[in-house]
Amino acid sequence: MPHLTVHSSAKVNLCLDVLGARPDGYHELRTVFERISLADTITLKSVKTGKITIHCSHPHVPKGPKNLVYKAALMLKQDFSISAGLDINIIKNIPVAAGLAGGSSNAAAVLSGLNRLWRLGLGQKELVNYASCLGSDVAFFVYDVSFALGTGRGEIITPLKSPAKLWHLIVTPKVKMYTREVFARLKLKLTNKKDNVNILLPFLRKGDVCRLAGALSNDLEPAILSLRPDFAYLKEKLLDAGALSVCFSGSGPSIYGLVRSQQHAFDLRARMDKRFAQVFVVSTL
């Protein structure tokens, strides 16, 4: 039976503004996504059983209908009356529930991969519509771009052009942090009401890394630190090690330092405490 292997990249948020609560229970956001080189590998194989099966050695990855990958495959299978089943094998490199959107990226990779494997003929707009049904971050990964502005829940995507290739050192504590728990701690009246995204965008468009470093921000940081005050130490550790700037990605717990170069990232990694096992040198993809 035919098979296909796809790569599924992570993201960081260079800026995340929370504008307010929405009637649908979500929050209105403005965020700048960056696609990064940390990635999972997914193999899709059509099978005769008619069933969708997920294989992954990571203990925290759901193997059934709770996985966004399963939901993505099931939507296409039902909508296009596909009789074949599907074996999905995920080699997980992106930490789970870490603010790096690994699950969302996996879902987008499966949507795009099955479009090819099953020859569905879907265009980008149609794939984005499916992605938006699955989650707020999924649509970004349907676009083959390095940077994008996300609005609405984060699902309305506007690709951004930039000459920048950024380097980061990402540290992910071995703690799962769920988006709903972080947003539950968010005190909207205390969020920064500056338009941080529009402050950052000119520096990104020019590729001005030094000024970009000064514009990184995340309105969810107070909520993250209210859950885990000890993460403030990690932020200080990265700054003391020489990062240009440090920011949480999404709802955390991953924190990244923007650095000058790949070598700068490796130098910082060498200075980090050995107890931080999940440390990644990554670049813009």
The 8-class DSSP code of residue 95 comes to P
Whether 193 shows a pLDDT value over 90: the answer reads no
Q: Identify the active-site residue in 17, 40, 137, 219.
A: 137
Active site annotation includes 137: yes
To the nearest whole percent, how much of the chain has pLDDT over 70? 97
Query: CA 279 to CA 256: how far, in whole Å?
Result: 9
167-283 adopts what CATH topology? Alpha-Beta Plaits (3.30.70)
Residues 248-267: what's their mean pLDDT? 95
What confidence score (pLDDT) does residue 190 get? 52
Tokens at residue 33, please?
Answer: 């996504």
pLDDT score of 168: 98
Is the per-residue pLDDT at 278 higher than 80? yes
Provide the token pair at 77.
């299978």
Q: What backbone phi and psi angles, to 5 degrees, belong to 88? A: -115, 120
Residue 88 pLDDT: 98
275 pLDDT above the threshold of 80: no
Give the pLDDT band (50/70/90) at residue 165: very high
Give start-end residues of each CATH 3.30.230.10 domain in the chain: 3-160
pLDDT at residue 276 greater than cutoff 80: no
**How many residues does this entry show for the chain?**
285
Question: Rounded to two decimals, what is the model's pTM?
Answer: 0.94
Cβ proximity of 221 and 234 under 8 Å: no
Q: String of b and e for 169-191 (b: at least 16 CB within 10 Å)?
A: bbbbbeeebebeebbeebeeeeb
CATH 3.30.70.890 domain span(s) along the chain: 167-283
Catalytic-residue membership of 11: yes
pLDDT at residue 61 is higher than 80: yes
pLDDT for the residue 94: 97
* pLDDT tens figures, 76-105: 999 999 999 999 999 999 999 999 999 999
pLDDT of residue 188: 73
Strand (E) positions, the chain? Answer: 3-21, 27-47, 52-56, 85-91, 147-151, 156-160, 167-171, 217-218, 245-248, 255-259, 279-283
Cα 268 from Cα 259, distance rounded (Å): 9
104-140 per-position pLDDT tens digit: 999 999 999 999 999 999 999 999 999 999 999 999 9
Residue range 3-160 forms a domain whose CATH class is alpha beta
pLDDT bin (cut points 50, 70, 90) of residue 186 is: confident
Task: Place 1 in a pLDDT band, splitting at 50, 70 and 90.
Answer: low
Q: Helices 102-117 and 124-134, interaxial angle, to 10°?
A: 140
**Mean pLDDT across the stretch 57-74?**
95
> In 101-166, which ranges are E strands?
147-151, 156-160
Residue 255, pLDDT above cutoff 70: yes
Which of 8-22, 109-123, 174-188 is predicted least confidently? 174-188
pLDDT at 175: 86
In sequence order, what are the beta bridge partners of 15? 32, 217
Q: Do the beta carbons of residue 34 and residue 249 sit within 8 Å?
A: no
Q: What whole-number distance in Å separates Cα of residue 187 and Cα of residue 20?
A: 10
Question: Under a CB-based contact definition with an 8 Å cutoff, are residues 6 and 44 in contact?
Answer: yes
Name the band, by pLDDT with cuts 50, 70 and 90, for residue 21.
confident
Q: In this structure, are residues 28 and 63 in contact, taking their beta carbons and an 8 Å threshold?
A: no
Distance of alpha carbon 98 from alpha carbon 94, whole angstroms? 8
Q: What percent of the chain has pLDDT over 90?
A: 84
Q: What pLDDT was estimated at residue 178?
A: 85
With beta carbons less than 8 A apart as the criterion, state whether 161 and 201 touch. no
Alpha-carbon distance of 117 to 173, in angstroms, equals: 36
Question: Across the chain, what does the average pLDDT equal?
Answer: 94
Residue 26, pLDDT > 60, answer yes
Q: Taken in order 233, 236, 241, 247, is the CA torsion positive or negative?
A: positive
